[in-house]
């Protein structure tokens, strides 16, 4: 509409010949039609291109090129705590995150990492997550985590799935959909502290001093890098 308005104003102002006006109108109409067709058929075209030249349009960028035993989606706060555990277990694992800086830091510490969005089913398929033994997601997106569970259910995967939720109802919904365990960060700390009191009582403070020193050291490591790095084997 703007193009036609522009042509009308230009014609009246510049006195363009009728033949030139007709040619310009034809160009505008053709461009509108071609643009509409391109938007409609672009997904199909890209699918054909990826199938024809998969090595040039791989989502892995050479970093995660084969199915791994474990995947960690999201590597901030709660997710970072799993890095040293996975490294000590000696299992093959990869990290998927949407923060480029996080990917760079992980790769600097020789951790296989990939920039990607867990809600993308194409990514899940390319990674072969249905063949993984463990999936940990700390992505704060309930819909994305439910989509992951639906994807795994479709393939009847026997994967252990650890997810995160910030509300009780969200956690219960994830359990109903098949999650193995759901982390509730707002409840986890209080639950652990109450277990310490129940186990050790409140007269002997020595066990709490041990936990305190361990917690302080943990916080210092997290504070330096934000990723609980460096991680050692």
What is the predicted pLDDT for the residue at 199?
Answer: 85
Q: What does the pLDDT look like over 6-15, one tens digit per residue?
A: 445 455 555 5
What is the predicted pLDDT for the residue at 97?
Answer: 92
Q: What does the pLDDT look like over 102-133, one tens digit per residue?
A: 888 898 888 999 999 998 999 999 999 999 99
What is the predicted pLDDT for the residue at 193?
Answer: 73
Strand runs labelled E in 58-215 = 70-73, 93-97, 113-115, 134-137, 160-164, 181-183
Is omega for the bond preceding 230 within 30 degrees of 0, making it cis?
yes
Q: What does the pLDDT look like over 60-81, one tens digit per residue?
A: 444 566 779 999 999 877 788 8
Average per-residue pLDDT for the chain: 77
Predicted confidence band of residue 201 (pLDDT cuts 50, 70, 90): confident
What is the predicted pLDDT for the residue at 227?
Answer: 56
What is the predicted pLDDT for the residue at 125?
Answer: 92
What is the predicted pLDDT for the residue at 232?
Answer: 44
Backbone angles phi, psi at 146, to 5 degrees: -65, -40
| 125/3: higher pLDDT | 125
Nearest CA to 232 among 72, 107, 90, 78?
Answer: 90
């Amino acid at each position: 509409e703007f193009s036609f308005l522009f042509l009308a104003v230009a014609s009246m102002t510049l006195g363009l010949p009728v033949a030139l006006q007709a040619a310009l109108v034809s160009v505008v109409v053709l461009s509108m039609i071609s643009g509409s067709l391109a938007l409609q058929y672009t997904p199909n075209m890209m699918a054909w291109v990826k199938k024809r030249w998969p090595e040039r349009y791989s989502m892995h960028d050479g970093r995660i090129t084969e199915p791994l035993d474990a995947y960690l989606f999201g590597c901030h706060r709660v997710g970072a705590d799993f890095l040293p555990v996975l490294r000590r277990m000696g299992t093959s694992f990869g990290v998927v995150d949407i923060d480029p800086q996080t990917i760079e830091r992980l790769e600097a510490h020789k951790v296989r990492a990939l920039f990607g969005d867990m809600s993308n089913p194409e990514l899940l398929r390319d990674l072969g997550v249905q063949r993984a033994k463990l999936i940990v997601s700390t992505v704060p997106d309930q819909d994305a985590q439910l989509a992951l569970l639906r994807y795994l259910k479709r393939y009847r995967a026997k994967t252990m799935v650890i997810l995160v939720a910030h509300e009780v109802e969200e956690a219960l919904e994830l359990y109903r959909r098949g999650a193995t365990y759901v982390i509730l960060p707002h409840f986890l700390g209080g639950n652990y502290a109450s277990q310490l009191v129940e186990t050790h009582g409140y007269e002997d403070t020595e066990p709490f001093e041990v936990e305190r020193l361990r917690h302080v050291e943990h916080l210092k490591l997290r504070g330096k890098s934000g990723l609980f790095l460096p991680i050692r084997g």
